[in-house]
Structure 1
Amino acid sequence: MGKVQKVYSKEFKEEAVRLAQTSGKPIAQIARELGISDSAIHGWRRELAEHGQEAFPGKGHQTALEEENRRLKREVERLQQERDILKKAGEHLLAGKQMKYQFIERYKQEFPVVVMCQVLGVSESGFYAWRKRPVCQHKREDAQLIENIREEFHTHQGRYGSPRIYRELRDGQIKCSRKRVARLMREVGLCAKCKRRRVMTTKRDPIHPVAPNVLNREFRAEAPNRKWVSDITYIPTAQGWLYLAVILDLYSRMVVGWSMSSHCDEELVEKALHLALGRRRPVSGLLHHSDRGSQYTSQAYQLQLEQSGMIVSMSRKGNCWDNAVIESFFSTLKEECASHTLYASHDEARLALFTYVEMYYNRIRRHSTLGYLSPFNYERMGNQPTLRYV
């Protein structure tokens, strides 16, 4: 006759564990007095610590269906844990053991260590051995540098990649290399927002005369107010499109004029030009470049350019590369300011765009073409006049 397995109630197990925790007696002695094995008490302690009130479901007093339901529930919970771990782990799945151990250490209060080890393909013993090893100086420096990188990354709302983060750290007297910053950003999953394609917003009027491409893709200027480029883009909102006309100075890539409206018409670009003229007061001979959109070829706009003594230049038909600088600016603006947000109203979008252009892009954001200086600082270091606020 086979050995009959003893079945103990939930209450018995709980009291046995409580006795082991409070009596002060050795577990082996308590086990002998209760007529059970000391391994049973150790097992019950672990189960109670891991599952709390759900521990000891009581196999001997429930139907097979109830037991199967509990087993399935535990399986679902385990799969949900693994799914959540995989979501957070990201690049750690393809990283070395050190990075996996760091991930486990970081999330050990959120997920069981044993489950994370199984998901990441490392052993528990290896993790605990890693914890006991002293951290080398290089790792400590990396950990501190990662905190500095995270701070700069979030300060700029995820708009900066490793080149600009590196410049921020260097200007803050933090010694590191750009490659090291790039490596650490990859390891912790920090990636700058990517650019997307721009949709055409202007359309040529065949009746209006057009000007030749005088700029001819010479996107460098030796001083401010020598070459301006202009174009229109759109921002989606819950109230419909909000159109934005911008004028850039090619010397510093500074936005010198802008205007926003719910209508993409001549008045939109005229207001942007008025702002630029009022703030910069350019002398005659400034080159103004745009596409062949009807807003720019209109009689009223061309008259303003003529009265200001500007040289008119226009892109060739269907050639966006002839105005590549402002195309690039719009791509950056949309990705960093508008691509992840649907503004509830035109007013909300106006405020966000105004803040981005005037307070962030012109004065703070580092521009790769300018040696990673902001447009404002680039003009200031060149002892050239900047925007006038009147």
Structure 2
Amino acid sequence: MSVTKFCQLVQISRQAYYKQCQTQSRCEHHEHTVIGFVREVRLKQPRIGTRKLKFLAATKGIQIGRDKLFELLRKHRLLVRARRAYHRTTDSRHRFFCHPNKVKDGLTPTKPEQLWVADITYLPTQNGESYLSLVTDAYSRKIVGFYVDDNMKTQSVKRAFISALRQRQSEEKLIHHSDRGSQYCSKEYQDIHKKHRVTCSMTDGYDCYQ
């Protein structure tokens, strides 16, 4: 069937037909790019999740929404179970005070900037080890602050926290939840909480999502 006859059959113009073909071609190319990137990352980090994949893709100039990425991962059977890969980034053997866990009883945020979760992710690269310090809004699931460094020192997580605070829109009560790592418990990091009147909460174990 010719293009002309097809367009007459479905009652669209040839221009609309070719435009639709171009759009479909761009979508297929974008999907191929995204999936190729995901497979490349998964070679080094088999269990990295959708949220962090989206962030890493953006650093490479690959723009995609969270829901769309989730849809593509499901389509290509690239979703992973919610079990965190083990590369220890927490050292809770320190002399600093550990704050009680304020979210373990099921605190559920109802809007952004009520609960932030801080985390450190190990990133193996061609140039050696890197660590991504993240601050994520528990309601929107958006990364509101981040910093990449070759170490896990307090200065790195501090910069991620400060970058999040600079974008803060509300002055209402905010809880910052993290693991009991020495970086988060340090006086230098806790001073930021006091300065910006942020309530501190810490997990009972190594995982900040407990």
In the alignment, what sits opposite 1:206?
94
Alpha carbons of structure 1 residues 222 and 208: separation in structure 2 relative to 1, 3 Å: same
Paired residues, what number?
155
1:313 aligns with 2:188: no
| Matched residue type, 2:77 | C
Gaps of 5+ in 1: 1-146, 170-181, 325-390
Matches within 5 A, 1:1-390: 151=28, 153-157=31-35, 190-192=76-78, 194=80, 197-216=85-104, 218=106, 220-318=108-206, 320=207, 323=209
How many angstroms does 1:300 deviate by?
A: 0.7
Q: Say if 1:211 and 1:314, in contact at 8 Å, map to a contact too.
A: yes
Alpha carbons of 1:235 and 1:287: their partners in 2 closer, same or farther (altered >3 Å)? same
Cα displacement (A) at 1:306: 1.2
SS in 1 for 2:119: strand
Distance 1:168 1:214, change over 3 A: closer
Deviation at 1:259, TM superposition (A): 0.5
Q: Tell me, which stretches of 5 or more residues in structure 2 are unaligned?
A: 1-23, 39-49, 51-66
* Structure 2 residue identity aligned to 1:154: H
In 2, Cα distance between equivalents of 1:300 and 1:216: 25
Rg larger for:
1
Deviations 1:266-323 (A, max 9, x none): 00011001100111244152000000000000001001111111111000034x2x51
Structure with higher helix content: 1
How far does residue 153 in structure 1 lie from its aligned partner after superposition?
Answer: 4.1
Q: What is the TM-score with the length of structure 2 in the denominator?
A: 0.63
More strand by share: 2
Cα separation, 1, equivalents of 2:205 and 2:155: 23
SS at match of 1:305: helix
User: Against the structure 1 CA distance between its residues 279 and 194, is the aligned structure 2 distance closer, same or farther, given a 3 Å change threshold?
Assistant: same
CA shift for structure 1 position 167: 9.0
Higher relative contact order (CA 8 A, sep 6+): 2
Deviations 1:30-85 (A, max 9, x none): xxxxxxxxxxxxxxxxxxxxxxxxxxxxxxxxxxxxxxxxxxxxxxxxxxxxxxxx
- 8 Å Cα contact 1:287-1:311 kept in structure 2: yes
- Report how far residue 238 of structure 1 moved: 2.9
Give the TM-score of the pair, scaled to structure 1. 0.35
Identity of aligned residues (%): 32
Q: Following the alignment from structure 1 to structure 2, what is the Cα–Cα distance between the partners of residues 192 and 260? A: 25
State the SS of the aligned residue for 1:204: coil
CA distance in structure 1 between the partners assigned to 2:146 and 2:70 by the alignment: 29
For the 8 Å contact 1:217–1:323, the answer to whether it is kept is no
Q: Distance in 2 between matches of 1:217 and 1:291?
A: 16
Question: Secondary structure of 1:277's match?
Answer: helix
SS at match of 1:306: helix
Q: Which residue of 2 aligns with 1:334?
A: none
Say whether the 8 Å CA contact 1:219–1:250 is kept in structure 2: no
Compared with structure 1, are the counterparts of its residues 257 and 165 closer, same or farther at alpha carbon in structure 2 (3 Å cutoff)?
Answer: closer
Counterpart contact for 1:215–1:287, Cα < 8 Å: no
Structure 1 CA distance for aligned equivalents of residues 101 and 127 of structure 2: 37
Assess, with a 3 A threshold, how the Cα gap between structure 1 residues 284 and 307 changes in structure 2: closer, same or farther.
farther
1:289–1:314 CA contact under 8 A, matched in 2: yes
Distance 1:259 1:201 in 2: 15
For 1:205 and 1:167, locate their aligned partners in 2 and report how far apart those are by CA, in whole Å.
37
Counterpart amino acid of 1:230? A
CA distance 1:246–1:225, change in 2 (3 Å): same
Distance 1:281 1:251 in 2: 14
Structure 1 ranges of 4+ moved more than 6 A: 165-169
RMSD between superposed Cα atoms in Å: 3.1
Once the two structures are superposed, residues 188-223 of structure 1 have per-residue CA deviations (whole angstroms, 9 ceiling, x without a partner) of xx4325467231212114310000000116363111
- In 1, the alpha carbon distance for the partners of 2:69 and 2:185 equals 43
